[in-house]
Amino acid sequence: MALDKSYSAINARKNDIIRNAMKIDYDEFEYKGIGFDYEGMMGKIGYSMDEMRKIQLSHGVGNTPLIEMRNLTALARKYAPAGKGARIFIKDEAANASGSFKARRASIAVHHAKKLGYKGVIAATSGNYGAAVAAQAAMHGLKCIVVQECYDDKKVGQPEILEKQRICEAYGAEVVQLTVGPELFTTHLSLLEDTGYFNASLYTPFGIAGVETLGYEIAEQCRERFGKDPDVVVCTNAGGGNLTGTARGLRKAGANDTKVYGACIDLSGLHMASDKDFNKKSCTTGHTGFGLPFVTWPDRSDCPRNAARTLRYMDRLVTVKQGEVFYITQALAVLEGYERGPAGNTALTAAFALAQEMDEDQMIIVQETEYTGAGKHVMPQLTFAKQNGIDVRFGNPDEEVSGKSLVFPENPSEIKARNYDLEHAKKSYIKNCVKNYHMKKATEEDIKYIMEEIRKDRDFVEAELKEHGIDIE
């Protein structure tokens, strides 16, 4: 009898599908209430830091350079108060095989798939991760399927996303292209079920652990060159794996005083899964449409439990404007001689503004860059924006309206890192716990789990739960 392939039926089988596609039973980490054993799940990967680094280096990943942005630092200091203007560095992850930090995620996942005897791997992504999985699969001699969300309902796709389709196919992957919507993860699960391939999802423990080497390297390189840990590391934040993995690596290296900031492009008002809004986004990654929903509820992914959990590690979250990111992308090229794609430049834009708040002897690290292909250049994206009725102009970036305008700053002094209220995000997380688990009461175990998830004390957690009418046992 043929399996029911409806949306509800596939998702009802999700735990079984994932168990067969990873050899991990997520049920073993579940507590009785809302929580689960996060560190127990992360420990299931079974690789030490040294082992992960060896795996990655043997497949063209890791040991990427840490480069000081002297000219961008000088420009930031021009507009900073006296004595301010931290040194800006980038960790050039474009040097990895496939050209982004996501090669770190893919390398561990694909290695493990090969070790367990799987014949192929599958990943659901619209971005660089597909290219990373495809490249690593090619190196390991495995089949690869990339499920890609790339079109609106009129079959119109963005240059940046279509560029990523091209590179996935160049590495030999089969690319399954979809319109925007909930079918992305459902199709991913269905293909895992049909093929028996390994689940190389962005959100598994293998993917997040692979990024830990990035944070570890940053601490190691700063100590070797400057005798100290970085003061701030800025991570472009979307689904949260980038920040989570980097922060965990920093902590494993003992860099406990280093602050970890997330940066998102402000696309407020545009829904991440809306067909109507899909092509109104001139930046396709690292924006609030992904960043904020995943911050306030990580478990919206294709895994029963998402290993990316940013509120456990994020010290500050800031937003920047699309026009500011395009401006800094061009500034990086003309001032520093590095042409890099827009994803990492989101964090660089934030770092440019944040450096002006910090002392001159401090260090701020942008922890990733990405390759630049034809569709990732500024001009194709701007041309596409204009074709979609977006008003592209110079002016005050604060006047930019998501989906209607894209405003370049007339002067670098106008570039800002706008604080997002993390306290509000933590309250939203608790609200989502209540809603998604239909909570009526909270056990001691529930409270301790939430405290770990959002890094807040008992009084904060209990007060918020009571606001939602939850009884405390």
Q: In whole angstroms, what is the distance from residue 449 CA to residue 108 CA?
A: 28
Please enumerate in sequence order all residues whose Cβ is within 8 A of that of 35, keeping only pairs 6 or more positions apart, or say none: 445, 446, 448, 449, 450, 453
Name the phi and psi angles at 36, rounded to 5: -150, 165
Count how many domains the chain has: 2
Q: What is the pLDDT along the chain (473 residues), one digit of tens a residue?
A: 578 888 889 988 988 999 999 999 999 999 999 999 999 999 999 999 999 999 999 999 999 999 999 999 999 999 999 999 999 999 999 999 999 999 999 999 999 999 999 999 999 987 789 999 999 999 999 999 999 888 777 788 778 878 878 889 999 999 998 887 778 888 999 999 999 999 999 999 999 999 999 999 999 999 999 999 999 999 999 999 999 999 999 999 999 999 999 999 999 887 766 667 777 777 777 888 888 999 999 998 888 899 999 999 999 999 999 999 999 999 999 999 999 988 889 999 999 999 999 999 999 999 999 988 777 788 888 998 999 899 999 999 999 999 999 999 999 999 999 999 999 999 999 999 999 999 999 999 999 999 999 999 999 999 999 999 999 98
Name the phi and psi angles at 274, rounded to 5: -90, 125
Instruction: State whether 82 and 226 are in the same domain.
Output: yes
Instruction: State whether 440 and 300 are in the same domain.
Output: no
CATH of the domain at 280: 3.40.50.1100
Query: Token pair 């890099």 is at which residue?
Result: 340
Instruction: State whether 232 and 287 are in the same domain.
Output: yes
Instruction: State whether 345 and 449 are in the same domain.
Output: no
pLDDT of residue 461: 98
DSSP string, 252-297: HTT-TT-EEEEEEE--TT--TT-TTTGGG-SS-SSBHHHHHHHHH-
Q: In whole angstroms, what is the distance from residue 309 CA to residue 262 CA?
A: 12
Amino acid present at 1: M
Tell me the pTM: 0.96
The number of beta carbons lying within 10 Å of the beta carbon of residue 398 is 12
The residue among 420, 440, 460 that closes a domain is 420
Q: Which domain holds residue 315?
A: 55-99+208-420
- Asked, for residue 239, whether it belongs to a domain, the answer is yes
- Asked, for residue 287, whether it belongs to a domain, the answer is yes
Instruction: State whether 416 and 351 are in the same domain.
Output: yes
Coil/strand/helix, residue 471: strand
The number of beta carbons lying within 10 Å of the beta carbon of residue 28 is 11
Of 203, 202, 249, 200, whose CA–CA distance to 91 is shortest? 249
pLDDT of residue 272: 65
Instruction: State whether 331 and 456 are in the same domain.
Output: no
Per-residue pLDDT tens digits for 114-166: 999 999 999 998 778 999 999 999 999 999 999 988 877 778 877 887 887 88
Q: In whole angstroms, what is the distance from residue 320 CA to residue 359 CA?
A: 21
- Asked, for residue 31, whether it belongs to a domain, the answer is no
- Asked, for residue 87, whether it belongs to a domain, the answer is yes
Instruction: State whether 333 and 448 are in the same domain.
Output: no
Instruction: State whether 390 and 453 are in the same domain.
Output: no
- Asked, for residue 305, whether it belongs to a domain, the answer is yes
- Asked, for residue 111, whether it belongs to a domain, the answer is no
Q: In whole angstroms, what is the distance from residue 429 CA to residue 409 CA?
A: 34
Instruction: State whether 299 and 255 are in the same domain.
Output: yes
Q: What is the C-alpha end-to-end distance of the chain, expressed in Å?
A: 47
Instruction: State whether 404 and 455 are in the same domain.
Output: no
- Asked, for residue 178, whether it belongs to a domain, the answer is no
- Asked, for residue 300, whether it belongs to a domain, the answer is yes
Q: In whole angstroms, what is the distance from residue 273 CA to residue 242 CA?
A: 21
Instruction: State whether 371 and 284 are in the same domain.
Output: yes
Instruction: State whether 339 and 278 are in the same domain.
Output: yes
* Dihedral in degrees, nearest 10, Cα atoms 286, 383, 152, 236: 0
